[in-house]
Structure 1
Amino acid sequence: MSISVSIKVRRELVELADKMVRYGIARSRSHAFNIMIEKGLSEVLKEVENWEDIYKRAEEMEKQGFKLRHGGLSKLLEEERNR
């Protein structure tokens, strides 16, 4: 059973929650904050940094002329998440 709680957090944590949603680590900000609480901030930071690196590398490959098939990156990212 979920219960809503209103709290104030640092802007950096909200930005981290937004990144977690953007990279598919969490379904929503609420889910992201629950993950942060359960896993701990240091673990979440490592995971987000890993996904940021993956996305940056994919962008670099596209700039170099590599073509990523539609959904190809999503499949790779999903496989990585399942590890």
Structure 2
Amino acid sequence: MSVTVSIKVRKEVAQLAEKMVRYGLARNRSHAFNIMIERGLEEVKREVAFWDEVYRSAEELEKSGFRLRHGGLSRLLEEGRERSSTPP
């Protein structure tokens, strides 16, 4: 059962939640905040930093003229998310 609460968070934490949604790590901000609470902020920061680098690298490859096959990047990112969300 879910309960709605209002909280204030640091801007950095709200931005982290937005990135989690953008990268598909969370369905929405509420889900992102729940993940942060359950996993801990530091673990979530590491995962988002990893995906920041993946997206940055993909953009650099595109700028240099490298082309992924249609759907190739999405498949790679999905596989990476599955690996990163599976406990060791």
TM-score of the aligned structures, taking structure 1 as reference length: 0.95
Q: What value does the CA root-mean-square deviation take over the aligned residues? A: 0.8
Name stretches of at least 5 consecutive residues in structure 2 with no aligned partner.
84-88
In structure 1, the residue matched to 2:86 is none
Residue in 2 that maps onto 1:69: 69
Range 71-80 or range 38-47, more displaced: 71-80
Measured in 2, the distance between the counterparts of 1:11 and 1:68 equals 35
Structure 1 window deviating more from structure 2 (29-38 vs 61-70): it is: 61-70
Q: Where do residues 54-65 of structure 1 align in structure 2 (5 Å cutoff)?
A: 54-65=54-65
In the TM superposition, what is the alpha-carbon distance from 1:64 to its structure 2 partner? 1.0
Q: TM-score, normalised by structure 2?
A: 0.90
Q: Residues 48-71 of structure 1: CA distance to partner in whole angstroms, max 9, x if unpaired?
A: 000000000000111111112332
**Residue matched to 1:40:** 40
Indicate whether 1:26 and 2:26 are aligned: yes
Which structure 1 segments of 5+ residues have no match?
none
Moved over 4 A (4+): none
SS in 2 for 1:82: helix
TM-superposed CA distance for 1:47, in Å, is 0.1
User: Aligned pairs, how many?
Assistant: 83
